[in-house]
Structure 1
Amino acid sequence: MNLWLVLAGALSLLAAALHVAIICKGPAWYRLFGAGERMATLAEQGKREPALITANIALVLLLWALYAFSGAGLLPPFPLLDWALAGITLIYLLRGVLPMLAAVFMPQLRTPFMWWSSLICTVYGLCHAVGLFILLVQSGLPRYD
């Protein structure tokens, strides 16, 4: 069992559950977790867009958790497992690192939400990266001699 991918899957599952909780708790939680004033205001007005957007993010995070659990050996192998995990890893790492780099040149990006969400995504990405590396080593890295 690949414990790094178990951890990565658990983290993605936690993030998915948090997004569902935000939908349930409403505008105050949209603000608390940095979704932006526009999303919070739309939620206050009873618009469906914030819940739909947040639910779709939760579904993607759930799918990512299931892929990590598949890579960990807790579920049967999913289609394109290695490629999907590589893509998920890349997305988490880019989401984590790029805003921090952009904040160096764009001071308006330097918000508490940007810093902590970027740090969280970087940690998630690193867990996926280590787990994916272990998975690839165990399955035999491709050789290009």
Structure 2
Amino acid sequence: MNSTGNKYLVTAAIACFVAALAHVGCIVFGGDWYRFFGAGEQMALMAEQGLWYPTIVTTAIALLLSIWGLYALSGAGVIKRLPFTKLALLLIACVFLLRGVCFVGLMPMFPENSLTFWLVSSGICVFIGGLFAVGYWQRCSAGRLNKMSYKD
């Protein structure tokens, strides 16, 4: 493992894990948390009624964020290299950045979500996507430099 790490990818991992924990909090604490995070009254009511839909959707998001956090740690050299790390980092950066920038197109599909939800979550996505993108670029640049130094 790389002892110096990649601070951008480590920060991206922490952000992913915090976001995953916030989603788990919605599952555990129910409707009030869904409302607080702006997920919409319909999700909050379904959670309060004990329906499975909010739990399944929120669990899937939490798991995905956790996996992405692990890929960030892998790319940073903090944990063992995961399969397709380089490709995964690039795709994760793209997903976060697209989600953050294209939220206006997504808003009509989720009319229950508040404008505050869209602005805050999109800003967070752009931030995390930027961390992944810079970390990916730094990782690739370091790889090229390492390859060049081995030739010398």
With the length of structure 2 as denominator, give the TM-score of the two structures: 0.84
- Number of equivalent positions: 136
Superposed, which structure 2 residues align to 1:1-145 within 5 Å? 1-100=5-104, 102=105, 111-140=115-144
One-letter amino acid of the counterpart of residue 23, structure 2: H
Q: In the aligned structure 1, how far is the partner of 2:21 from the partner of 2:114?
A: 27
In structure 1, list runs of 5 or more residues that go unmatched. Answer: none
One-letter amino acid of the counterpart of residue 88, structure 2: A
| Change over 3 Å in CA distance of 1:110–1:20 after alignment to 2 | closer
One-letter amino acid of the counterpart of residue 77, structure 1: R
One-letter amino acid of the counterpart of residue 72, structure 1: A
One-letter amino acid of the counterpart of residue 55, structure 2: A
With the length of structure 1 as denominator, give the TM-score of the two structures: 0.88
One-letter amino acid of the counterpart of residue 33, structure 1: F
- The sequence identity of aligned pairs, in percent, is 42
In structure 2, list runs of 5 or more residues that go unmatched. Answer: 146-152
Structure 1 residue 57: Cα displacement: 0.5
Q: State the superposition RMSD in angstroms.
A: 1.8
Structure 1 residue 110: Cα displacement: 7.7
